[in-house]
Structure 1
Amino acid sequence: MRTILAVWLLCSAVASAAVAAEPSPELIAYGKSLVEAGNCAGCHTADQAKPFAGGKRIDTPFGAIYAPNLTPDRETGIGAWLDADFTRAVRTGTAPDGSLYYPAFPYPYFTHMTKDDTLAIRAYLGTLAPVVSRNKPPELRWPFGHRGLMRAWNFLFFTPGLFEPDQSKSAAWNRGGYLVTGLGHCGACHTPKNYFGADKTAQALSGSELGGWYAPRLDGAARTGLQSWSADDITEYLQSGRNAKSHADGPMAEVIVNSTSKMSDADVRAIAEYLKSLPPARRETIVTPPDEAEMKAGQAIYAKFCVACHEADGSGAPRIYPPLPANALLQSINPSSTLRIILDGAHTVTTPRAPNTGEMPPYAKQLSDDEIAAVTNYIRNSWGNAGPLVTPAQVAKARGQEP
């Protein structure tokens, strides 16, 4: 009887501990907010009917990688992982079996996250419906498919460690820095990369090409960065997908819909405060204006196709048709995003704060490479703008890329 009682008491204690270990609703809700801030679903959802089940193809300069299953399925997801396994994967890029992830998974940013935040994320992911979805192997060019090379990459380019608050700055600034350099992994798109796909840290957030688009500068550059944007401008853009200066399109539109528009007001304003404090990370390009013939050709095309919405002076209708004068993205050193919009058209992103829609038609079939180059040069160098010359060859290259 004594033995039976002891066993019963032990089982009861284990059961009580298991119940106590269940994450609270508050922790799960906080984890959900972190998952949204990190836009985890954006990469880990291939089928909208199976959120977080992985399988989404992520193209890199070295080949394709497929995002893994984050649902709590024990065989194909993370259901059998220990908390320590999850934290190590997120913050060091190391799988439970000791293999190393490729940095398309942004662990070089997530390393700045606290352990508590990683566990909150895991608590939320544990509430998802388990989905059987086996992870697909990467399709990388030789020799990049050899994961052993990641040890050398990590040695050269990965510095693990938490975000270090600056005690001379406000709590909001430090929160913004934590989100931008950590969970939000903004530099994964907006920081130039070297030959090995690692960040050029000395040029952080100074713009980079990504999948046929150009992620613009987020530093304080006067012409092509955020110097002319106020903190309120940045906040409005992240919350609604538009402001009086620009509209979101391409990959950034997805980030706004799936992530920043769902974040708390305090967190979005913290990001804005942090970004507004950044000095230019590199010099802006000295621009040689197009010749008179090129400008006249572009002006004629603009008058025929663009003036009805954007007006003769480029002023447009803020928050409906983006204004063109002093448009930072339009003047970027890399014209990829501008060409993508002219070729494929644009659809104004809709969010709860800005539900009204708008669109720009595509001109890929109506205009030749020379004509698109001419009108692009015109709008990039009118009304006080100054953007490097765009050639028909650049248009042809953009035309050949997937929209």
Structure 2
Amino acid sequence: MAGGGIGGALGGLIGLACAVLPGPAPIAPVSSVDTSLWSAATLERGRQIAAAGDCAVCHTAPGGQTNAGGFALETPFGTVYSTNLTPDRETGIGTWSYEAFQRAMRKGIARDGSHLYPAFPYTAFAKMSESDMMALYAYLMSQPAVRNSPPRTKLPFPMNQRPLVAGWNWLFHDERAFVPDETRSAQWNRGKYLVDGAGHCGACHTPRNAIGAEKGGFAYLTGGSAEGWDAPSLVGSRAAPVPWTEDTLFDYLRTGFSAEHGVAAGPMGPVVAGLSTLPESDVRAISHYIASLSPRVDPAVSADAAAAHAVRASAAQTLDDEGGRRIFESACAVCHAESGGVGHFGVRPLMGLNTSVALATPDNLLHVLQHGIDRPATAELGYMPGFKDVFDDRQLAELASYIRARYAPGQPAWRDLESASARLRAHAH
């Protein structure tokens, strides 16, 4: 029997056992939580952890109140709706004790004993320290209570059988807390703790197997997907036109912009918005750790490579993309021309250094072309208008084709751009 068959059979037997055995016991509700017990320092620490973990990003529906739940997270298995994290007693976590909260965060089990789907990244949160977990609980319980009942998650059979998640946990979930590597610096360990724990970077930037678990080993942080966007590799990424350095990573994560790589858009925008409120030392630690996963790049060499790549891109010939060139010059060049676009909407990223232009798939660029950046990660960035109501899918395909040929010389042309644009337009939130 092939290895995959053995694994599938084993998973099936584990799932069957979990379905018939008694599940986790409920934890009794608490009558009240005295938030006056926590100091301002503890609450601020909890706020920082919530920002590092992007709690509000996934637990706030479009147009909804912060952390009141209802955000629709599309997964390969169906739509999972986020829960209400506010301390409302009827619809939120207002009756949850700390014991119930930390069990959910570490084991993926709700107060009533039901299993949470691993779309909620408890696999990462389990690595958090006890003091950080308590601070996060204190912060959430001190926020305004919002009465809101999000839609119920209804996945197709057999994924709707939550006891089966116990088998998934047995196979893939490591509940052990983070243990520092004594051979590494304090900054490196802090960065790894944030990346693998509260920050759960792997949830988007690590590929997953057929049943939704992050792949380990050499696949760690080598690229994944999030909300229909490509999440590029964080390890020696070939997608970036020039190598990332620790300093350019810090600039990007702290401000949402790197002159050598571009602007944070899509799901990365809210991530940067949260990171921008953290202590600078934490963002530097994250940058230091991620940079350590790739061969060291000298900043001067990277800057020279960026300048040379921009020159090559500006000299590229795209004689076959006349329609795309006209659209670019009328809609894009005012901000993105190499000769010095006015940049009156904010920073002026050079297209030849933009990772989205160099990716193997066009989805990220098409997302930005259609929807723009109407909620920049930080106020200094300004915004970019979207063109989905201005250009049809054929015109957007011509524009994307021109940008690819013009600013990613040497990269293969994207195929079926018109159908890709139509697909993204149809699935837009």
Q: Same fold (TM over 0.5)?
A: yes
> Which residue in the other structure is 1:288 paired with?
none
Query: Mapping of 1:82-97 within 5 angstroms?
Result: 82-97=97-112
Contact 1:326/1:385 (<8 A) preserved: no
> Which residue in the other structure is 2:391 paired with?
366
1:130-176 C-alpha deviation (Å, 9 max, x unpaired):
33334542121222111022122112222221123222221111111
Contact 2:70/2:150 (<8 A) preserved: yes
Give unpaired runs (5+ residues) of structure 2.
1-32, 296-316
> Which residue in the other structure is 1:152 paired with?
167
For 2:158, which of 140, 143, 167 is the aligned residue?
A: 143
Does residue 120 (structure 1) correspond to residue 135 (structure 2)? The answer is: yes
- Hey, what's the Cα distance between the residues in 2 that align with 1:135 and 1:309? 41
- Hey, what's the Cα distance between the residues in 1 that align with 2:327 and 2:75? 35
Q: Could you say what secondary structure the match of 1:262 adopts?
A: coil
Give the 3 Å change call, closer, same or farther, for CA 366–43 of structure 1 in structure 2. Answer: closer
Contact 1:294/1:377 (<8 A) preserved: no
| Structure 1 residue 71: Cα displacement | 2.3
Query: Mapping of 1:259-298 within 5 angstroms?
Result: 259-279=274-294, 294=320, 298=324
- Hey, what's the Cα distance between the residues in 2 that align with 1:294 and 1:278? 40
Runs of 4+ in 1 over 6 A off after TM superposition: 18-21, 313-319
For 1:218, which of 234, 253, 272 is the aligned residue?
A: 234
Which range is displaced more, 310-319 or 168-177?
A: 310-319
- Hey, what's the Cα distance between the residues in 2 that align with 1:100 and 1:148? 6
Q: Could you say what secondary structure the match of 1:52 adopts?
A: coil
For 1:389, which of 413, 423, 427 is the aligned residue?
A: 413
For 1:322, which of 349, 362, 371 is the aligned residue?
A: 349
1:322-352 C-alpha deviation (Å, 9 max, x unpaired):
1122432321122211011122333471525
| Structure 1 residue 298: Cα displacement | 4.5
CA RMSD of superposed structures (Å): 3.1
1:68-126 C-alpha deviation (Å, 9 max, x unpaired):
22222334322322222211110111122322100111101111111221111111122
- Hey, what's the Cα distance between the residues in 1 that align with 2:139 and 2:75? 29
For 2:50, which of 14, 22, 35 is the aligned residue?
A: 35
| Structure 1 residue 197: Cα displacement | 1.8
Could you tell me the TM-score, scaled by structure 2's length?
A: 0.77
Structure with bigger gyration radius: 1
Q: Could you say what secondary structure the match of 1:209 adopts?
A: strand
Give unpaired runs (5+ residues) of structure 1.
1-17, 281-290
Q: Could you say what secondary structure the match of 1:194 adopts?
A: coil
Does residue 400 (structure 1) correspond to residue 400 (structure 2)? The answer is: no
Which range is displaced more, 172-181 or 243-252?
A: 243-252
The residue identity in structure 2 corresponding to 1:359 is M
| Structure 1 residue 315: Cα displacement | 8.9
| Structure 1 residue 267: Cα displacement | 0.5
Contact 2:241/2:358 (<8 A) preserved: no
Give the 3 Å change call, closer, same or farther, for CA 62–158 of structure 1 in structure 2. Answer: same
> Which residue in the other structure is 1:204 paired with?
220
Does residue 250 (structure 1) correspond to residue 266 (structure 2)? The answer is: yes
Could you tell me the TM-score, scaled by structure 1's length?
A: 0.82
- Hey, what's the Cα distance between the residues in 1 that align with 2:388 and 2:35? 60
| Structure 1 residue 26: Cα displacement | 1.7
| Structure 1 residue 295: Cα displacement | 5.3
Q: Could you say what secondary structure the match of 2:74 adopts?
A: strand
Contact 1:165/1:174 (<8 A) preserved: yes
Give the 3 Å change call, closer, same or farther, for CA 204–387 of structure 1 in structure 2. Answer: farther
| Structure 1 residue 266: Cα displacement | 0.5
- Hey, what's the Cα distance between the residues in 2 that align with 1:361 and 1:323? 18
| Structure 1 residue 317: Cα displacement | 6.2
Percent of pairs with identical residues = 37
- Hey, what's the Cα distance between the residues in 2 that align with 1:19 and 1:337? 45
Give the 3 Å change call, closer, same or farther, for CA 378–25 of structure 1 in structure 2. Answer: same
